[in-house]
């Protein structure tokens, strides 16, 4: 073996060592009078973990506060073991944290962990999501009455619906202000929150009631207002529904969630 | 491109955004970490645009993995090209290293063996990147903590040959030369003497840490006196080269970092002539490289 094949083998052996796997790389590294090949390689293996832990810690500060150093370190160790980085930009390394906390024992026995991770990753997604134009209310006024049935909405890419079964937003809010979090409580009914970024680049969040969640979910899926009216009939009478739908639309526009109207 | 002299710059860091935007401090230029702005939108890009309006910029990447035996990451290169169009930097740099193999990323700047096959591989890949970007790139020498038994030449011979064959330029990190000289037992001056002067486009300066018998390139301290001395040696050898300080951890207030940059200015002022230190007019233009 020579040339590029030899270089490839060296890189694979090196990476196996960094990942803590069986590797022959140590035979290809020069020792010095004071440091063995292994000691020299360990500088890279240690740095690998530290770098990934730093990235995770930056992304999940509140989860870290909730768990404390030791438990959070367990989470990070498990994450790094299960997710060798396959991304180029460290900004996106920890995007599978919610999935890990939902599926891996013992973390999945504490659903608040996955919910806190969802809140923090949603803020991160909102923070640097695409910049799009913002729809103004007068665009709505310019719409012909017959256009309502076919109206579809385009949203800011920051708009996300977070399904949370616990009072995790209250826990998150208290911890992020360095306050004692409230006792963890399951919501009496499944509660959804909307989180999005306004034109001033600040992210906002608020709870959604069942009707608005149904309407917003359908609108985000690109469904027409005719479909949204239909869904709202599960919550309101035929007389109330059009007014409710319009008031949702107005509030989404006022809150700068929308980037376009098509009809 | 001939060597424009931009003067003395700093690495742009999020800790300093507010100070830079509010006070517009006197700094000749900023270097950005390209990957920090490879995001869809929001505050990172808004702040970047604001600061770019007031300062010349160069772009410095950490993820090109030019030495990897995986195929070049086309998606990364396309994002890099998009950012170049937005920023219109004076130049674009990355490291003479590999970061990933089999699509697994170490997120580290890993060293390469110094041999003929690796030179061919690097020269070919750098040429491909330069063709795609439509401009020459700068490559930076690493701090390293291992050396390979298969290496056939010293690092400076390896670097010089790649530069010659690929037509790229050098971002010479003075601290990295100092760190690697300590870790691999060579004289840093030997390295500097061997580098082709006409290819050196930029200098990096930074602080480091001692870890037992090794020096680690941590960018978390001030530049130390031996590195300042080596900087002076490099100025005597190469003449005026655009110089900046990298600080990535234990980041001090902006004014402290700016005061440290004044040390570089003072060393250059006593080492070079006023004529040599005249900032190139073209450096003030966007997309001048």
> Using the beta-carbon criterion (under 8 Å), do B45 and A6 form an inter-chain contact?
no
| Any domain includes A92 | no
Tell me the HSE value of B124 on the side-chain side, using a 13 A CA sphere.
11
Task: Report the Cα–Cα distance between both ends of chain B, in Å, rounded.
Answer: 7
**What was the pLDDT predicted at B29?**
96
Q: Which residues of B touch A47 (CB under 8 A)?
A: 108
In percent, the amount of chain B with pLDDT more than 70 equals: 97
CA distance A105 to A111: 11
Rounded to the nearest 10°, the torsion over CA B189, B194, B197, B198 is -160
> Using the beta-carbon criterion (under 8 Å), do B39 and A128 form an inter-chain contact?
yes
> Using the beta-carbon criterion (under 8 Å), do B42 and A129 form an inter-chain contact?
yes
> Using the beta-carbon criterion (under 8 Å), do A48 and B212 form an inter-chain contact?
no
* Residue B268 φ/ψ, nearest 5 degrees: -65, -40
Answer whether residue B287 shows pLDDT above 60: no
Give the tens place of pLDDT for each residue, B126-163: 999 999 999 999 999 999 999 999 999 999 999 999 99
> Using the beta-carbon criterion (under 8 Å), do B211 and A4 form an inter-chain contact?
no
Residue partners of B287: CB distance under 8 A and separation at least 6:
B88, B89
Tokens linked to A6: 């030899």
Min Cα separation B67/chain A (Å): 9
**What was the pLDDT predicted at A62?**
98
Q: How confident is the model at residue B68 (pLDDT cuts 50, 70, 90)?
A: very high
Beta bridge partners of B94: B139
Q: How confident is the model at residue B288 (pLDDT cuts 50, 70, 90)?
A: very low
What CATH number is associated with residue A154? 3.90.930.50
| Any domain includes A210 | yes
Domain carrying residue A176: 130-263
Q: Give the closest residue to B202 by CA, choosing from B264, B158, B157, B266.
A: B264
Mutation choice for B interface testing from A8, A9, A11, A156 by most B CBs within 10 A: A11
CA distance B203 to A123: 37
Supply the CATH classification number for the domain B8-284: 3.20.20.150
Q: Give the closest residue to B36 by CA, choosing from B25, B47, B52, B20.
A: B47
Closest CB from A30, A44, A86 relative to B105:
A86
Which residue from A minimizes the CA distance to B249? A54
CA distance A126 to A158: 4
Mutation choice for A interface testing from B15, B42, B118 by most A CBs within 10 A: B42
Q: Taking a C-beta distance cutoff of 8 angstroms, is the pair A5, B123 a contact?
A: no
> Using the beta-carbon criterion (under 8 Å), do A85 and B105 form an inter-chain contact?
yes
Distance of CA A206 to the CA centre of its chain: 16
Q: Domain residue spans in chain B?
A: 8-284
Whose structure tokens read 């400076």?
B156
CA distance B217 to B232: 20
Q: Which residues of B touch A43 (CB under 8 A)?
A: 145-146, 211, 214, 216
Rounded to the nearest 10°, the torsion over CA A143, A145, A150, A156 is 40
Beta bridge partners of B31: B11, B58
Quote the DSSP letter at residue B148.
Answer: B
Which residue from B minimizes the CA distance to A87? B105
Size of interface A-B (CB pairs under 8 A): 129
CA distance B259 to B253: 10
Q: B202-235 burial, b for 16+ CB within 10 Å, e for fewer?
A: bbbbbbbeeeeebbbbbbeebbeeebbebbbbbb
Outline where DSSP puts E strands in B132-222: 138-140, 169-173, 200-205, 209-211, 214-216
Answer whether residue B282 shows pLDDT above 70: no
CA distance B183 to B203: 21
Min Cα separation A10/chain B (Å): 9
Closest CB from A40, A89, A91 relative to B145:
A40
Q: Give the closest residue to B47 by CA, choosing from A196, A127, A195.
A: A127
> Using the beta-carbon criterion (under 8 Å), do A27 and B68 form an inter-chain contact?
no
Give the tens place of pLDDT for each residue, B199-241: 999 999 999 999 888 999 999 999 999 999 999 999 999 999 9
Q: Which residues of A touch B39 (CB under 8 A)?
A: 89, 91, 128
Q: Which residues of A touch B185 (CB under 8 A)?
A: 32
> Using the beta-carbon criterion (under 8 Å), do A44 and B103 form an inter-chain contact?
no
What does A79-140 look like in DSSP terms, one character per residue? HHHH-----SSGGGTTTTHHHHHHHSTTGGG-HHHHHHHHHHHHHHHHHTPPP-----HHHH
**What was the pLDDT predicted at A1?**
64
| Any domain includes A83 | no
Please work out, in degrees rounded to the nearest 5, the angle formed at the alpha carbon of residue B210 by the alpha carbons of B209 and B212: 155
Tokens linked to A225: 């207002």
Q: Is B252 helix (H, G, I), strand (E, B) or coil?
A: coil
Q: Which residues of A touch B117 (CB under 8 A)?
A: 2-4, 6-7
Report, as an integer, the average pLDDT of B21-43. 97
Min Cα separation A79/chain B (Å): 15
> Using the beta-carbon criterion (under 8 Å), do A86 and B150 form an inter-chain contact?
no
* Residue B93 φ/ψ, nearest 5 degrees: -135, 160
> Using the beta-carbon criterion (under 8 Å), do A11 and B69 form an inter-chain contact?
yes
Total number of domains constituting chain A? 1
> Using the beta-carbon criterion (under 8 Å), do B104 and A85 form an inter-chain contact?
yes
Q: How confident is the model at residue B289 (pLDDT cuts 50, 70, 90)?
A: very low
Residue partners of B12: CB distance under 8 A and separation at least 6:
B20, B30, B31, B32, B33, B51, B57
**What was the pLDDT predicted at A99?**
98
CA distance A44 to A47: 5
> Using the beta-carbon criterion (under 8 Å), do B68 and A11 form an inter-chain contact?
yes
Give the tens place of pLDDT for each residue, B92-115: 999 999 999 999 999 999 999 999
CA distance A165 to A169: 10
What length does chain A have?
Answer: 263
Min Cα separation A249/chain B (Å): 24
Min Cα separation B178/chain A (Å): 18
Answer whether residue B286 shows pLDDT above 70: no
**What was the pLDDT predicted at B284?**
58
H/E stretch holding B51 = helix B43-52
> Using the beta-carbon criterion (under 8 Å), do B121 and A7 form an inter-chain contact?
yes
Tokens linked to A67: 């768990």
Tokens linked to A66: 């909730």
Q: Taking a C-beta distance cutoff of 8 angstroms, is the pair B95, B125 a contact?
A: no
CA distance B94 to B102: 20
- The whole-chain average pLDDT of chain B stands at 95
Mutation choice for B interface testing from A7, A46, A201 by most B CBs within 10 A: A7
Report, as an integer, the average pLDDT of B165-191. 97
| Any domain includes A12 | no
H/E stretch holding A24 = none
CA distance B287 to B289: 6
Beta bridge partners of B59: B32, B92
Tokens linked to A158: 């920051």
| Any domain includes A112 | no
Report, as an integer, the average pLDDT of B233-253. 96
Q: Give the closest residue to B169 by CA, choosing from B108, B94, B255.
A: B94
Task: Report the Cα–Cα distance between both ends of chain A, in Å, rounded.
Answer: 64
| Any domain includes A120 | no
Whose structure tokens read 């330069």?
B130
Min Cα separation B185/chain A (Å): 9
Beta bridge partners of B203: B172, B243
Q: Which residues of A touch B212 (CB under 8 A)?
A: 35
Tell me the HSE value of B223 on the side-chain side, using a 13 A CA sphere.
29
pLDDT in tens, chain A (263 residues): 678 999 999 999 999 999 999 999 999 999 988 899 999 999 999 999 999 999 999 999 999 999 999 999 999 999 999 999 999 999 999 999 999 999 999 999 999 999 999 999 999 999 999 999 999 999 988 888 889 889 999 999 999 999 999 999 999 999 999 999 999 999 876 689 999 999 999 999 999 999 999 999 999 999 999 999 999 999 999 999 999 999 999 999 999 999 999 99
CA distance A137 to B146: 63
């Amino acid at each position: 073996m020579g040339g590029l094949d030899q270089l490839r083998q060296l890189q694979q052996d090196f990476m196996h060592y960094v990942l803590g796997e069986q590797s022959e790389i140590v035979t290809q590294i020069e020792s010095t009078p004071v440091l063995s090949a292994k000691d020299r390689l360990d500088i890279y293996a240690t740095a690998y973990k530290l770098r990934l832990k730093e990235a995770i810690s930056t992304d999940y500060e509140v989860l870290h506060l909730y768990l404390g150093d030791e438990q959070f370190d367990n989470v990070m160790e498990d994450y790094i073991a299960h997710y060798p980085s396959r991304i180029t930009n460290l900004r996106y390394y920890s995007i599978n944290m919610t999935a890990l906390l939902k599926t891996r024992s013992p973390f999945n026995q504490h659903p608040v962990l996955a919910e806190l991770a969802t809140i923090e990753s949603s803020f991160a997604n909102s923070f640097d999501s695409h910049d799009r134009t913002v729809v103004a209310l007068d665009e709505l006024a310019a719409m012909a009455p017959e256009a309502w049935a076919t109206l579809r909405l385009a949203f800011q890419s920051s708009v996300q619906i977070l399904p949370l079964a616990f009072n995790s937003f209250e826990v998150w809010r208290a911890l992020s202000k360095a306050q004692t979090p409230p006792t963890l409580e399951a919501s009496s009914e499944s509660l959804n929150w909307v989180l999005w970024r306004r034109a001033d680049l600040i992210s906002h969040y608020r709870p959604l009631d069942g009707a608005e969640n149904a309407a917003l979910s359908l609108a985000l899926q690109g469904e027409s207002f005719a479909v949204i009216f239909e869904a709202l009939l599960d919550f309101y009478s035929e007389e109330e529904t059009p007014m409710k739908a319009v008031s949702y639309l107005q509030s989404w526009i006022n809150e700068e969630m929308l980037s376009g109207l098509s009809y | 491109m001939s060597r424009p002299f931009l003067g003395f710059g700093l690495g742009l860091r999020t800790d300093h955004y507010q100070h830079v935007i509010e006070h517009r401090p006197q700094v000749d230029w900023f270097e950005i970490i390209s990957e920090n702005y490879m995001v869809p939108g929001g505050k990172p890009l808004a702040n970047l645009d604001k600061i770019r309006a007031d300062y010349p910029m160069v772009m410095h990447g950490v993820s090109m993995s030019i030495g990897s035996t995986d195929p070049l990451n086309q998606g990364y290169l396309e994002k890099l090209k998009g950012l170049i169009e937005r920023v219109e930097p004076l130049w674009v740099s990355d490291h003479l290293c590999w970061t990933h193999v089999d699509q697994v990323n170490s997120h580290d700047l890993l060293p390469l063996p110094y041999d003929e096959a690796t030179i061919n591989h690097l020269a070919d890949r750098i040429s491909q990147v330069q063709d795609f970007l439509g401009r020459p790139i700068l490559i930076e020498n690493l701090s390293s903590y291992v050396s390979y038994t298969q290496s056939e030449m010293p690092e400076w011979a390896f670097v010089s040959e790649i530069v010659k064959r690929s037509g790229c330029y050098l971002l010479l990190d003075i601290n990295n030369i100092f760190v690697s000289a300590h870790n691999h037992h060579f004289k840093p001056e030997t390295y500097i003497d061997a580098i082709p002067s006409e290819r050196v486009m930029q200098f990096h300066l930074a602080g480091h840490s001692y870890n037992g018998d090794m020096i680690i390139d941590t960018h978390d301290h001030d530049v130390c006196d031996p590195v300042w001395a080596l900087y002076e040696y490099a100025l005597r050898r190469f003449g005026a080269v655009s110089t900046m300080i990298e600080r990535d951890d234990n980041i001090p207030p902006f004014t402290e970092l700016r005061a440290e940059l004044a040390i570089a200015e003072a060393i250059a002022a006593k080492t070079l002539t006023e004529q040599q230190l005249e900032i190139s007019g073209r450096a003030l233009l966007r997309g001048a490289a």
